[in-house]
Amino acid sequence: MLQRIRLSVTHAFGLYQRRGLQTSTRATADFVRIVEVGPRDGLQNEKITVPLETKIELVDRLAKTGVQTIEAGSFVHPKWVPQMANSSKILDHILSTPSPSSSPNPMTYQFLLPNVKGLENYFATHDAYSSSQTSPSPAQHKYEASIFMAATESFSQCNTNCSIAESLTRFTPLFTTAKQRNTPVRAYISVALGCPYEGPDVSPNKVADLALELLELGAYEVSVADTTGMGTVPRTRKLLQTLKAAGIRTEDLAFHFHDTYGQALVNTVVALEEGIRVFDSAVGGLGGCPYSPGATGNVATEDLVHCLHSLGVETGVDLDAMAEIGSWISGVLGRKNESRAGKALLARIEAVKKTDI
């Protein structure tokens, strides 16, 4: 109880001020902010080595679609995730690249940081770029760090080789340093609706308790992830209700659905009805989890945008452009394009072109 009282006080006097403009954007009932995770969460599990040039082109093309936030890479040890080994070079590129003229707002780029060492390497890249500049950078971007936790002990041990409590302790100095560098931190809670080791019945109370801990540590937003795609409508709704009952505002939450069992969009609608206005997705349905056997990709950004637009919800995302990117990156990777809406849209566009000839 004391913990929740402290959190309420923090919200009342701190979080609203810190979130600033972002809070007012999220309060708009008919607008959803999409966090595009394709360049990091989408590519990290690819078996082939994706060339740096392809990763940079993916980030640059996504930045021109109207999406406001892109998770661009991860400063994780290449031994564990070789695909992310050149994330510092992607950050270097972003630091020197102006925001697209088509974007009315500054782009926000996130990088996943698994520990303090990752944070140090991340800031080292920032500092090296700054010291090399003789004039102000042309880029007017925003930068954020992201971290991940697990809702079950089994997944935490397999993914991070430590318990949930130990993981929270390890992240405490990261939050302290990030705050000193004025860098917002976003937190993920993995396997919140199903664990590959403990099954689908993950305790919503444990998820709520962990979200409270992360918000108290200083996370500005907690993305609740259905990493395995096991989430169903009843359990998604129950989790949302439990989070609310714990005193957590919907403004401080995002949801991250995988489409393993074809439930991502219906669960999105449930979350939308409960007040969630931020969702993660990956272009072309890229993704999967190396620590979650059988889990398929993230919900495709094209499918998510199509669903939201059909409900009268604005996203600011150019669906045609996103569909083209999904088709392109799927072809480059030699994999199936997992976006049904994207494929249907491109087929319709192609049919119209043929009738115009």
Q: Which residues are catalytic?
A: 289
Residue 263 phi, psi (nearest 5): -105, 0
Q: Report H helices in 133-232.
A: 153-160, 164-180, 204-217
Question: What residue type is assigned to position 135 of the chain?
Answer: S
Residues 177, 89: Cα–Cα separation, whole Å: 22
Residues 223, 278: Cα–Cα separation, whole Å: 9
Using CA atoms, how far residue 286 sits from 172, 331, 338, 345, in Å, is 31, 12, 7, 18
SS3 171: helix
Paired sense of beta strands 142-150 and 253-257, if any: unpaired
| Total residue count of the chain as it appears in this document | 357
